Structure 1
Amino acid sequence: MIMSLEVEHRRIYTNGIWMHIAEKGQGPLILLIHGFPELWSCWVHQINNLSAHGYHVVAPDMRGYGDSDCPQDPSSYTLFHTVGDLIGLLDELGQEQAFVIGHDWGAEIAWHLCLFRPDRVKALVNLGVPYRPRSPQFKPSHYFTKYGRGFYISQFQEPGGAENSFSKYDSVTILKKFLLINAPDLLAAPPGVEIIDFLETPSLLPPWITEEELQFSASKFQKTGFTGALNYYRAMDLNWELLGAWQGAKITVPTKLIIGDKDLGFVSFGTKDYINGEIFKSFVPNLEVVVIDGHHFIQQEKAEQVSNEILSFFSKKPKM
């Protein structure tokens, strides 16, 4: 399915790296930003659907992933780097503005694209991850200590640590463990256990993903390893240090947040109450929230519903 799509592929030089993009269709630009541990191909349904409705859809492999460059230094993965990559991509495409869709880490990047450069974004649809303002006091690593050493983000912090624990598994198994999560709410391993060992390997695939799709993604991670993907987590404290100037800033871009009611991120960390509360709306005042029946990877699990939600939102906005 992935390789049979009428999708064009090329690499674009942006912000000091070569970035691979997949694109299809003509019309107003839609930029799709993937998360962890994904590739451009996690958007295959949206690429087909949105391009068929008159959009030029572009899905990059973000830095550290797939056929894009993979710097080894975690300090090359701040939100300023990743947003800079996308601004350079828009420039290379000759587009002043784009409609933007982000998922997981891609949603975090999309929030900050809107925070740094709202002039470049017509409207935003984010999946799974609400905007959370920067803590004025605590770095993320300090905040996450309350969840214990087994918390997945804490385990990802040490360069080489997670890669070492991942090395006993092939890439397909690693992807199955993270994409098809069956774990407690907080995604934390017991004391002394690595998160990759703790996560179960499902014996059956759900209907929303095929063995072919998993093998395609696994073949890319087999070449690159997971260091680039993990470096996003390792740059979290550096992000905090660099974001002080945006303390208290609001996101003014028209936004729709779509989140699954069974997403671990929705049922943990007080997210459900936060989304329904006033703090979130005060930082993203032009906001619409949609909670659907689904888990974390809803752009695949609920592909048609998510695409329809995207189209209904973007269709209300001027295309030019």
Structure 2
Amino acid sequence: MFNPADFPKPNFISVNGVELEVFEAGLENAGNPIVLCHGWPEHAFSWRYQMPALAAAGYHVIVPNQRGYGHSSRPSEVTGYDIKHLSGDLVGLLDHYGYEDATFVGHDWGAMAVWGLTLLHPSRVKRLINLSVPYQERWEKPWIEMMEQVFGSDFYFVHFNRQLGVADAVLEENTFQFLRNMYRKNLPLAEPAPGMMMINLAKAEAPIGEPVMSDRELAVFVSAFETSGFTSSINWYRNLDRNWHLLADVDPIIQQPALMIYGDRDPVAKSENLSDFVPNVEVINLDCGHWIQQERPEETNQAILNWLEQQTAT
């Protein structure tokens, strides 16, 4: 397990009207940037096993707590978390360091941010690696509207959008319990329980499966969300339909070389037509659940480094 004391100390960088808490490794490798984008409910600390490996491989590793997380800015307006703002923050980071482009890596919502960044600012993305969440094609109707029709009002994406503040309050009342119950692996197969999944997790007194991390590692996430609360990060979900409109006139095809890493036991569905939208994609499957880079750090590092080596050799 990782000792949290070994995680780098952050710098605070002003970009795009906000201040981001940014962790770095491999500063001696200036000129070869790789930006790691965490998901929900996560933190830059979720990349703790990848940072030293990438730095040792010659990369300047840049890992922001994205807006709404940790000690980064938390704008009060819901629209401050749309894909235009999220991708603008990442472009602002490149500008801060003087980089024209970079390799971007995303997990979960971080993957969605990286897909969106590549669509909106293709010249700033050299290549991309995403974990868990594949490219989401733009459906005929806005995403939340479609999810409500297909999955119903208790589906957490829909609930976050239709019942503002309800889940936020439950998660904040049960921060430790929610995150302890969330960060599990090797879960037994079971039918989904009725009700809203995230609220159920926050209220469950006993976790199932096995812990993904040590108590000391978990404490980093718990402390971060006790500081930030959950509303600002949940606001990312509250912009899905806005993002659908913002991406209406964007070329939907991603031309950059891409690596997609799935966990075979991840409840997030794999894409059936990924190469239609990302023609230069390679797909790797690992034997794990949703928290890929934390459940299988060595295998994740090897997959990333092997692919990057292939890319730089061609």
TM over 0.5: yes
Report 1:240-259 matches (<5 A).
240-246=244-250, 249-259=252-262
1:43 and 1:2 map into 2 onto residues whose CA distance is 13
Task: After the TM superposition, list the runs of 4 or more consecutive aligned residues in structure 1 that deviate by more than 6 angstroms.
Answer: 183-186
Contact 1:72/1:227 (8 A) holds in 2: no
After superposition, what is the alpha-carbon deviation per residue over 1:216-249, rounded to whole angstroms, capped at 9, x for unaligned?
1111110110011100100111111211112x52
SS at match of 2:39: coil
Residue of 298, 305, 309 corresponding to 2:303 = 309
After superposition, what is the alpha-carbon deviation per residue over 1:142-195, rounded to whole angstroms, capped at 9, x for unaligned?
1111212221111111321211222431x2211123222758789x652xx343
TM-score (norm 2): 0.90
SS at match of 2:138: coil
Residue of 221, 229, 235 corresponding to 2:233 = 229
Residue 21 of structure 2 corresponds to 20
1:307 and 1:54 map into 2 onto residues whose CA distance is 14
Residue 266 of structure 2 corresponds to 263
How many angstroms does 1:2 deviate by? 4.7
Counting aligned pairs with the same residue, the percent is: 35
**Residue 177 of structure 2 aligns to which amino acid in structure 1?**
T
After superposition, what is the alpha-carbon deviation per residue over 1:103-136, rounded to whole angstroms, capped at 9, x for unaligned?
000001111111122221221110001102111x
TM-score (norm 1): 0.89
Aligned residues: 304
Task: Return closer, same or farther for 1:209/1:183 CA change in 2, 3 Å cut-off.
Answer: same
SS at match of 2:289: coil
Task: Return closer, same or farther for 1:151/1:91 CA change in 2, 3 Å cut-off.
Answer: same
Contact 2:183/2:211 (8 A) holds in 1: no
Report 1:67-78 matches (<5 A).
67-78=71-82
After superposition, what is the alpha-carbon deviation per residue over 1:59-98, rounded to whole angstroms, capped at 9, x for unaligned?
1001000010011221111111000000000110111121
Contact 1:262/1:296 (8 A) holds in 2: yes
1:265 and 1:201 map into 2 onto residues whose CA distance is 24
Residue 153 of structure 2 corresponds to 149
**Residue 256 of structure 1 aligns to which amino acid in structure 2?**
L
**Residue 295 of structure 1 aligns to which amino acid in structure 2?**
G
After superposition, what is the alpha-carbon deviation per residue over 1:29-80, rounded to whole angstroms, capped at 9, x for unaligned?
1100000000000000001111122211111001000010011221111111
**Residue 145 of structure 2 aligns to which amino acid in structure 1?**
H
**Residue 299 of structure 2 aligns to which amino acid in structure 1?**
Q
2:35 and 2:309 map into 1 onto residues whose CA distance is 15
1:189 and 1:115 map into 2 onto residues whose CA distance is 36
**Residue 225 of structure 2 aligns to which amino acid in structure 1?**
F
Contact 2:256/2:280 (8 A) holds in 1: yes
1:203 and 1:264 map into 2 onto residues whose CA distance is 17
**Residue 230 of structure 1 aligns to which amino acid in structure 2?**
I
1:219 and 1:300 map into 2 onto residues whose CA distance is 18
Structure 1 gaps, min length 5: none
Residue 9 of structure 1 corresponds to 10
SS at match of 1:156: helix
2:274 and 2:7 map into 1 onto residues whose CA distance is 39
Residue of 256, 270, 274 corresponding to 1:280 = 274
2:252 and 2:196 map into 1 onto residues whose CA distance is 37
Residue 163 of structure 1 corresponds to 168
Task: Return closer, same or farther for 1:201/1:21 CA change in 2, 3 Å cut-off.
Answer: farther
